[in-house]
Structure 1
Amino acid sequence: MKTTQSRQKSYADHRRRYLEFAVGDHVFVRVAPMKGVMRFRKKWKLAPRFIEPFEILDRVETLAYRVALPPSLARVHNVFHVSMLRNYVSNLSHVLSFEPLQLSPYMTYEERPV
């Protein structure tokens, strides 16, 4: 049992990424797709995995950061684990288009053709 545990620990340690962000950095936030729920325009395979770069306000714990979210995402908790964040490398040619969504109390919205 002891050898199996040490073997599993060695596998996990090689794959672990130690990420650290500073206050003022910009990060992408991971969006978890849910079956049957449409968030951010697409569902299933075409749903975005990460959404727009947000600024880090402060470090809550060793692995948790508080992120500045826009008012349209006010119902989402603004503290994220480091595994839910990805570093944003700024690029002047990188243009992001984000349209505000009208979310229902269940964090869903109705998609209408334009």
Structure 2
Amino acid sequence: MLRACMIDFGKGWVNHLPLVEFSYNNSYHASIKAAPFEALYGRKCRSPICWNEVGEFYLTGPEIVQETTEKMIQIKQRMQAAHDRQKSYTDLK
């Protein structure tokens, strides 16, 4: 997952680690039949709304929600693509 972020985000990948962690911890895992956060705490996680990248101007209200939602969707799609690639390599064996 981190390798995919490094490739996609270039040198700015470090700025996206909190969103990657959030996406990973709140994505469904077939092995435990739940998201890790939900399995650990017994409830769904509230989404972050105040994450800004370093040097980025501050967004307000709906802009924050929209920006965070778009980044989370992008990261989840990249995680799924990485998972699919790994699965295809495993299936070849």
**TM-score bracket, shorter-length normalisation:** under 0.3
Tell which has more relative contact order, 1 or 2 (C-alpha 8 A, sep 6+). 2
TM-score, structure 2 as length reference? 0.24
TM-score, structure 1 as length reference? 0.21
Higher strand share: 1
Q: Which structure would you say has the larger Rg? A: 1
Higher helix share: 2
